[in-house]
Structure 1
C-alpha cells in the first residue's frame, strides 16, 4: 500500500489552543498573545506549559521541552511523530479548522493539493535507523549509537516524485535537519534551533553549530554528563538562540562552534548580545569542527589498538 504523506506546514498551522480546547483543556492563565496551561501529560500544579498564540509554539518550563503541535501530540498521546501527524490530519483537522479559536486555518486541504516539486513531504518517520545509516554514523562519524539513537529519527520523504531516506534531527518548531550517508544535507521546514534538556545538574548550557557535533560530545563524554544544549542547525539561527537565552535568563554558555569565519561571527554575535561565552573551539583549534577532532582521536585510538604488543620473553634463572 502506498504510504500517506502529510503536509507539515498545514498540520503545524492548526492552533495549539484549538487542539487543547477540543481536548477539554483550558488555560489556567491568559495573557496578551499567550496563555499558561497545566501540562496535560504530567503532574503540573504550577501551570508551566506556555502556549504562544502568535508563533503557535509551546514550551514547558518544568521540563525545558517544547515545539510545534506535533511535538505536543507526541507527548500527550505517547506516539511517534508520524502517528501524531496522522492523528491531527485525519481525526482532528476538520474539527479544529472550524473552531477558529485564535486564527482561521484551512487544514481540510492537508492532503490532495498541488505541491511545488521541490518541497520535501514526509512519508514515514521511525525511531530506528536503517543499517546503512547506522554504519555511516558509527564508522564514518565515529558516533556511539547507544547514546545518540534517542535523539535521531529515520525520515523517509518524497520530493519531485522520488523517495529518499535520511537521518533526521528534530528542531523545536517541528522541522527536521536531514543528513545522508554521503554528502547530502537538507531540511524539512521550518528551520529552527533544537533545544536539548541536559542530564548534568548545574552545568552551563552548550551551543553547537550542527547535531553531529552535539552527538560527538555526547559520544566523548557520555549521556549522563551532557549539559543543557542548543543546536543551531545553521549559524543563521544565532539570533533565535540569543532570544532563547534571554527569555530563559541564561547569560553564560560554552560554544562548540566551527573554526571558520561563520563560527567566529556567531561567537561575536553571542558576546555582542551580552552573553558570557567560553570558546571551546580552542580545544580543537587545528580541526574544522568538533566532529573532525573526535574522528581524529578515535582513529588514533583504533590504530594504537591494532599495533601488536611487544612481548618480552624472560628465560629461567640459573
Structure 2
C-alpha cells in the first residue's frame, strides 16, 4: 500500500503549459487563453491537444480524452494516478512515452543535462532470465518457457544508485515493459504497443492488455497456433493499436481484455473506431483476466484433465 500523502489540489494547480514546456513541448498554435499542441503520447499531425490556461485543463479532440495535469501525465507516461502524483510532487525528471514528433527534442535535452536520479538506466540486457524469475513464470504464472522465452529479456538496470533485475518485454519503439517476481510493474521508456508476427496464417489479429495474457495464450495454444498479436502494455495505448489496425487495413480482432471497467472501455474504443471485435473475455468471465483463468485451469490439471475449453485451449 502507498502511504505517502499528496496534496491533490496543489498538484492540480501546476500549470500544464509549464510542465509541457519543461518536457520540450511547445504549442503549435497559440490563442487568447488556450493553445493547441501535438499530443505527445500519440501521432498527432493535426495538433489536437487543447490546453486551457485559465482552467488548467486539457482536452484531446482526437481521442475525446482530457482532464487535469495528473491525467495528462498518466497518458504521457502510461502510469497510475499515484505514480503521476509522485512524479509531479517530487519534481521527477520528465520521461515521455513519446511520439516521434518529440523524441528528438527530448533526446537532445537529456544529453545536455545531468541524468536525473529516478531514471532507470539499463546496465545490460540478456536473453536468459535468472532462475528465480524463470521459477516465477513457471510456478506462479504457469508460463511454458519453452515457447515463451524468445519473447522475453532479462533487464538489469540501475535507479537511484540501486540495481534491479526484471523480466523485460520489448515494445515496437525500443522500450520495455518490466515485471519482477513480486508486484513491481514498470517501463523503460518509450512506452508503446508490442507487435507479434504470429505463426498462424490468415488468422485474425489478437489483442491483449498485458504481456502475461499473451504468454498465457501462447502456453495454452502453442507457438504454431498463435495469430499475429498486439499487446497494449497499457489500456492508455488503445489509440496506438487503433492507428496500427487502420494503417494495416485490419478491421477485425479477437480481444483478450480484462473483466473490468478499463477492459470494457478498451473494447468500446475498438468498436467505436469501426473495428469488428470478438470479445474473448466471455471464455473467462469468472476471472479477472486471461492469466488468472489460465493459472486456475493449470492448477486443476494437477488433479484431473478438464474438458476442452472452446475458443481458448487446444
- TM-score > 0.5 by shorter chain: yes
Alignment of 1:33-72 (within 5 A): none
Cα distance in 2 for residues equivalent to 1:203 and 1:160: 45
- Alignment-derived partner of residue 218 in structure 1: 218
Q: Cα distance 1:104–1:189, how it changes in 2: closer, same or farther (>3 A)?
A: closer
Q: Is 1:198 equivalent to 2:162 in the alignment?
A: no
Instruction: State the partner residue of 2:293.
Output: 293
Distance 1:204 1:104, change over 3 A: closer
Quote the Cα distance in structure 2 between the aligned partners of 1:195 and 1:129.
21
1:145 equivalenced with 2:145 (yes/no): yes
Task: Report the Cα offset of residue 107 of structure 1.
Answer: 6.9
Structure-1 separation of matches of 2:288 and 2:229 = 20
The equivalent of 1:121 in structure 2 is 121
Residue 115 of structure 1 deviates from its aligned partner by: 1.2
Kindly provide the CA deviation profile for residues 215-257 of structure 1, in whole angstroms up to 9, marking residues without a partner as x. Answer: 0000000000000000000000000000000000000000000
**Structure 1 segment 179-198 matched on structure 2, within 5 A:** 179-198=179-198
Partner SS state of residue 154, structure 1: strand
**Any stretches of 5+ residues in structure 1 without a counterpart?**
1-51, 55-102, 306-318
Aligned to 2:62: none
Structure 2 residue aligned with 1:173: 173
Alignment size in residue pairs: 204
After TM superposition, give the deviation of residue 160 of structure 1 in Å.
Answer: 0.5
- Deviations 1:259-298 (CA, angstroms, capped at 9, x unpaired): 0000000000000000000000000000000000000000
How many Å apart are 1:304 and its aligned residue?
Answer: 3.2
Residue 242, structure 1, aligned to residue 242, structure 2: yes
- Distance in 2 (CA, whole Å) between partners of 1:140 and 1:105 is 39
Which structure has the greater CA radius of gyration?
A: 1
User: Could you tell me how far 1:302 is from its partner in structure 2?
Assistant: 1.1
> Quick one: distance in 2 between partners of 1:130 and 1:199?
28
Could you list the per-position Cα deviations for residues 11-32 of structure 1 after superposition, in whole angstroms to 9, with x for gaps in the alignment? xxxxxxxxxxxxxxxxxxxxxx
Aligned to 1:304: 304
- Distance in 1, matches of 2:222 and 2:105, equals 46
Q: How far off its partner does 1:104 sit?
A: 8.5
Partner of 1:304, secondary structure, is coil
Following TM superposition, by how much is the alpha carbon of 1:303 offset from its aligned partner in structure 2, in angstroms?
Answer: 2.9
SS at match of 2:303: helix
Long gaps (5+) in structure 2: 1-42, 46-103, 306-314
Is the alpha carbon distance of 1:247 and 1:109 closer, same or farther for their aligned partners in structure 2, counting shifts above 3 Å? closer
- Against the structure 1 CA distance between its residues 117 and 300, is the aligned structure 2 distance closer, same or farther, given a 3 Å change threshold? same
Q: Find runs of 4+ consecutive structure 1 residues off by over 4 angstroms.
A: 103-110
Aligned to 1:262: 262
Root-mean-square deviation (CA, aligned residues, Å) is 2.1
In the alignment, the residues of structure 1 paired with residue 232 and residue 220 of structure 2 have an alpha-carbon distance, to the nearest angstrom, of: 20
Q: In the alignment, is residue 229 of structure 1 matched against residue 240 of structure 2? A: no
| TM-score w.r.t. length of structure 2 | 0.62
Name 2:284's counterpart in structure 1: 284
